[in-house]
Structure 1
């Protein structure tokens, strides 16, 4: 009787791994998508991403709720009556808008390497916020990891005459985004819908102003660019849907490792495909950051395995 359960678990794990790989690969290849409409204003692209995400989710979510997902309409309605949820997601909406703007600006201004750095240091910044805001205590390997990352960023700042502000903006906004959502967490797609709902009016006004001035990419761009703007919602939602499916099936320790697929692909896209310069300060800086991440990952894996080993020994 145990054998079918074992096979079922193995099958679920495989599905989860495929979903995780698809999600992180899509995120890693995002720079290629946005570069194809790189002539557009970065703010305009973010507004299109917000509006078309709102439209796409507005079609998909009612169907999912009607079929009973997340408890159906009544359960979700009760969750949305909470002022705390609206307050938390208002902050989250601002943070995700900043993150999207910094990322798209980086892609369209030949700063993809800096964008990848932002996502590399984000987990370490999460740790720092945990100490500062939540009063969490770190062990010495975690402090060492944060120290290596700080040295890496400092080397880049000194070598290039200033902080990699795009990286810092992306890492900081995403870390705050994750922190506030711990206070009132909705399912991934419902949370995104609430965020874009809060942003859609100013985004639509901005796009309307661009149209009125005759400078909208939907007016001046090619047919392909027009289609890619319409697809901005779908390419935003698809990896999130895959990610949501993955976290239900894959251990968090493994998901913690897989999260580095995205920034690694972005790094390769920036360096190999787009030919961005990797000067000596950046090389040294990335080595320090990668070393810090390796220490962080090893420490995290050891922390998770230690209770299991103690239990087995007893």
Structure 2
């Protein structure tokens, strides 16, 4: 049997990352009795431990120090840290309060929010079909708001914070592992202060539930520690994939994440999936199909142009 080509390995890595992200809601549901800020604090600390070990074993800690030595990069890392920690909090909170369906909708909406953000901030010029996809997503959100009587704020918060996170990351002069390690380094003091308040000062939780789960039982303690690898492993798989397959393929495979999320929410958590949810999801899936098809078309057209330009240059020489 011949070995897998790099592109095939990249697709498998992307499937692995998306599957872990898509099924992670079941993991955080096991910690539903632990307040979300406490879970978030442990996720930050143990992610830093895991990433720090990886960088140390790879001999790349110097890259982290160099990143902190650049003022502009530090501001971008700080902005990314705020966005990703907010995103993590809303995801954990949504799972704990039984809004996993709404969380999955947020990750479906994210690519379309990114299109609008790219236009507004980066001056990108989406095609007519891509704008049509964004418009369909807006109709879906409007229909869900009308049908349920309240806007899907959790979905919008998750999509918005993840899109802003991606925007901040564009300017960070470091790879994903180094930049995420820098983000959790900046978040570490907040996590430590919160856990000190939880375990020592007896601060009340947002939900009034018991605090200080770590150390109270082996099961909860191990779950909190493992949130570090659970955060780090899919990110490293994602980084591996993006270096081996084109970005359009990465984007398409990433839809496995929210698809698994909604399946877990409806089949495992038994959350309600109303007619308004069905309508919104049909509109979103239609928008994503349009967006993905157009992205693939533009990607192929760009490649053909590059090949023609390269051939023309060769002939001139």
1:57 counterpart (51, 55, 62): 51
Equivalent residue number for residue 302 of structure 1: 297
State how far apart, in whole Å, the 1-side matches of 2:8 and 2:299 are.
22
Q: Which residues of 2 match residues 87-126 of structure 1 at below 5 A?
A: 87-126=75-114
Instruction: Specify the alignment match of 1:176 in structure 2.
Output: 164
Q: Would the alpha carbon gap of residues 61 and 75 (structure 1) be closer, same or farther in structure 2, given more than 3 Å must change?
A: closer
Residue 182 of structure 1 deviates from its aligned partner by 0.9
* 302-311 or 246-255: bigger deviation: 302-311
For the residues of structure 1 that align with 2:301 and 2:42, how far apart are their CA atoms? 47
Alpha-carbon separation, structure 1, partners of 2:30 and 2:225: 13
> Which one of 247, 254, 269 corresponds to residue 259 of structure 1?
254
Contact 1:47 1:204 in 2 (8 A): yes
Contact 1:49–1:232 (CA<8 Å) still a contact in 2? yes
Paired position in structure 1 for 2:154: 166
The 5-angstrom pairing of residues 116-155 of structure 1 reads: 116-155=104-143
Q: Could you say which residue in structure 1 is the equivalent of 2:206? A: none
Q: Which residue of 1 aligns with 2:315?
A: none
Measure, in 1, the Cα distance between the counterparts of 2:128 and 2:228. Answer: 42
Tell me the alpha carbon deviations over residues 134-177 of structure 1, each in whole angstroms, 9 at most, x when there is no partner. 12222110111001000001111111111111111100000000
**Alignment equivalent of 2:41, drawn from 28, 47, 52:** 47
How far apart in 2 are the matches of 1:197 and 1:177? 16
**2:55/2:61 contact within 8 Å kept:** no
Displacement of 1:185 in angstroms is 3.7
1:1-314 pair list within 5 angstroms:
11-65=5-59, 72-74=60-62, 76-212=64-200, 213=202, 215-220=211-216, 222-308=217-303
CA distance in 2, matches of 1:284, 1:74: 51
1:211–1:219 CA contact under 8 A, matched in 2: no
CA RMSD in angstroms comes to 1.9
User: Residue 35 of structure 2 contacts residue 211 of structure 2 at CA under 8 Å; is this kept in 1?
Assistant: no
- The alignment partner of 1:205 has SS state of helix
Higher mean C-alpha displacement, 168-177 vs 300-309 = 300-309
Shift of 1:306: 2.5
Q: CA shift at 1:304, angstroms? A: 1.4
Q: 2: distance between equivalents of 1:39 and 1:91? A: 30
User: 2:63, 2:93 → 1: CA distance?
Assistant: 38
* Structure 1 residue ranges without an equivalent (≥5): 1-6, 66-71
1:74 Cα deviation from its structure 2 partner:
4.8
Structure 1 residue 73: Cα displacement: 5.0
Change (3 A) 1:295 1:268: same
| TM superposition shift of 1:76 | 4.9
In 2 relative to 1, CA 56–140 (structure 1 residues): closer, same or farther, beyond 3 Å? same
Q: Which SS does the other structure have where 1:266 is aligned?
A: helix
Q: Do the aligned partners of 1:121 and 1:289 also contact (CA within 8 Å) in 2?
A: yes
Which SS does the other structure have where 2:5 is aligned? helix
Q: CA offset at residue 225 of structure 1?
A: 1.5
Contact kept in structure 1, 2:248 and 2:296, CA below 8 Å: yes
Q: How many residues align?
A: 300
Contact 2:6–2:244 at 8 Å: present in 1 too? yes
